[in-house]
Amino acid sequence: MKITAFTLGFLAAAASAAPAANAASGNSACTKTLALKITNIYENGDTNFHYDYCENIKDGRGFTSGISGFCTGTADAWEVVQQYHKLTGGKDSFSKYDGVLKKYAQSGSDSTSGLDGYCSVWSKLGKSDAKFRKAQDSIRDSMYYNPSQKLADQLGLKLSISRAQLYDCGIQHGTGSDADGLAGLIKTTNASFKADAKGSSGSTLKINGHNVDEVAWLTKFLQVRTNDLLHPKEKENASGAWKETLYRVKSYQYALSKKQYNWTKSVQVLDNDGKPVTVSC
């Protein structure tokens, strides 16, 4: 998915700070699993973890693969491969692609030249290699889940639905402070609150010195994200593909309308066709 300089710089710190961040937020293992599975619906059409997925979806990011849509043109696929090298000792089926992957990660190129057989290798290892799956889990958490939850902690978000939405946004938009990134969208959302915003969620945030109900904040954030999906600010995201993914926001708006604020064992959201589906941990 999308990666920024902010994300790269934050990777190591996020990985080491993850346990403290998760403990502070009170997130349960089940709540995290639900968040991951919901995003899987948007990414792959079901709640399964598709470690073996790999294809060029022609979105300007090269090959898209794995549980988080790691892309050869946005550096996160290269991060997965490097993590896998650490687990295998440095010599494995991906080693022959190192030079090309590093070059495309640095340049942001969507080219797949020099990557013949890449998807075959990814798919085979994704189906059978526990170390490769572990590498994907590790990079998903360090680049997307943990940074999104750190931002949630900074905001003071307490509701499962809010924290999970930040993760899903981070997966698609990247977690950075650019105009289309998660941190950038949070900034835009916060700037819209110029007075107290009351509500009955039981959670109150301090935004620009104002008391803002967490559901009121999340409702505005979803509006801001919708506008960004329709009108991306960064040229690299303006292909039109994002306009086709409004179901990601509508799904959370549905859960919000049902007052499914805190999740324990399950939550009902919308699938990519707009049909209600129950996700369980």
The reply to whether 43 belongs to the active site is yes
In a domain, 8, yes or no: no
Average pLDDT over residues 64-87: 95
In a domain, 261, yes or no: yes
In a domain, 14, yes or no: no
pLDDT bracket for residue 46 (50, 70, 90): very high
Residue 25 has pLDDT above 80, yes or no: no
pLDDT bracket for residue 15 (50, 70, 90): very low
| Alpha-carbon torsion angle 176, 178, 180, 181, nearest 10 | 10
CA angle at residue 226 from 220 to 232, to 5 degrees?
125
In a domain, 16, yes or no: no
Backbone phi, then psi, for 129, in 5-degree steps? -110, 110
Backbone phi, then psi, for 89, in 5-degree steps? 95, 5
Q: In whole angstroms, give the CA distance from residue 41 to residue 82.
A: 27
- pTM, entire model: 0.86
Who wins on pLDDT, 4 or 200? 200
Average pLDDT over residues 159-165: 98
Note whether 85 and 73 are within 8 A (CB).
no
Q: In whole angstroms, give the CA distance from residue 147 to residue 272.
A: 26
**The pLDDT value given to residue 17:** 36
Range of 4-8, 18-22, 84-88 with top mean pLDDT: 84-88
| Alpha-carbon torsion angle 85, 86, 88, 94, nearest 10 | 0
Q: In whole angstroms, give the CA distance from residue 188 to residue 111.
A: 33
**The pLDDT value given to residue 28:** 83
The domain spanning residue 273 has which CATH number? 3.30.386.10
> Which of 16-20, 88-92, 260-264, 272-276 comes out lowest in average pLDDT?
16-20
**The pLDDT value given to residue 228:** 95
The reply to whether 52 belongs to the active site is no
| Number of structural domains found in the chain | 1
Q: Which of 43, 76, 153, 213 is catalytic?
A: 43
279 by DSSP, 3-state: which?
strand
Residue 13 has pLDDT above 80, yes or no: no
In a domain, 23, yes or no: no
In a domain, 65, yes or no: yes
Question: What region does 34 belong to: left with phi over 0, alpha with psi -120 to 50, or beta?
Answer: alpha
In a domain, 105, yes or no: yes
**The pLDDT value given to residue 246:** 96
Nearest residue to 7 (alpha-carbon basis) of 133, 187, 151: 151
Q: What mean pLDDT is reported for the chain?
A: 90
Segments forming the whole domain that contains residue 142: 29-280
Rg from Cα positions in the chain: 18
In a domain, 15, yes or no: no
pLDDT bracket for residue 233 (50, 70, 90): confident
Helix (H) or strand (E) holding 10: helix 5-25
Cα maximum dimension of the chain: 58
pLDDT bracket for residue 240 (50, 70, 90): confident
Residues 6+ apart with CB under 8 A from 103: 109
Q: Which of 59, 92, 234, 271 is catalytic?
A: 59
Residue 8 has pLDDT above 70, yes or no: no
